[in-house]
Structure 1
Amino acid sequence: MSLREKTAWITLLTVLICFGVYFGGIATGAVSPHGFDTLHLLLACVTAMAVLQLVLHAVVARRSPKAPHDERERLIQLRSHTVGYYVLIAGVLLLGVPGHMAYRVRDILNFALLAVVVAALAVSAAQIVMFRRGA
């Protein structure tokens, strides 16, 4: 497994775990979606994700030999970011639905955050699939 594929796995899992905790807390009612505890949970999840990614990327980079990006890896990166772009655009366009259903601004911001998280997951998943496929 190449360094870039390992970093894609790290990104996929840390984003999935950290924001799964955040959105799971809101969906289950463990956190009030309209209080400051939601903000504190969001800050804790973002901090945990940043620390996890820094530590795991440092460990993987230290254990992997340095190799420059080859053309295949550049193409995989470009294609995966294109997939993420389309997913993000679809998520932004779908923000009109809760906007017309009289949701509060906080809820719409959470939907926007969900669109960004889903786009990040799509980028990582696309990279993993393309590395595994050999594209």
Structure 2
Amino acid sequence: MSYFKSKPLHHFMASMWTERLKEKIEKTFECEFELFIEFTCLISWCRGARIGWHSDDNRLYLKQRDFSAVCYLISYAKDFKGGLFRFHSGEPATVAPSAGNVIMYTADDGDIHSVDEITDGKRLTLAMWF
């Protein structure tokens, strides 16, 4: 029963958090129009998981994505090994995940990125697309 009681609260907190992040992206990237949250998901990356170079709008059915955000829920080296986030170009070129940090970037081919293979532990992220 406690699971069902807490579910609406967790949903409310997640909604508040994603809304605040949406506003931050609009301000940071000087968006002319209001953004809409396209998709949000909790991703658990297990040992051996990785993703090669890509943009977040790399399929025809993903072209509505303008921006991406990744919130790190646990920290590199402390909670898992591997799993570094890498940008193909630009600065920073490599991001070492740290709990509570968020990276925001464009979803198009201007921000091609990858995630190195997880070699130990689990990497937990909250990913959002706008």
Instruction: Please indicate, yes or no, whether the TM-score normalized by the shorter chain is above 0.5.
Output: no
User: Which structure has the highest strand share of the two?
Assistant: 2
User: Of Structure 1 and Structure 2, which has the larger fraction of its residues in helix?
Assistant: 1
Which has more radius of gyration?
Answer: 1
**TM-score normalised by the chain length of structure 1:** 0.29
Q: Give me the TM-score of the superposition, normalised by structure 2.
A: 0.30
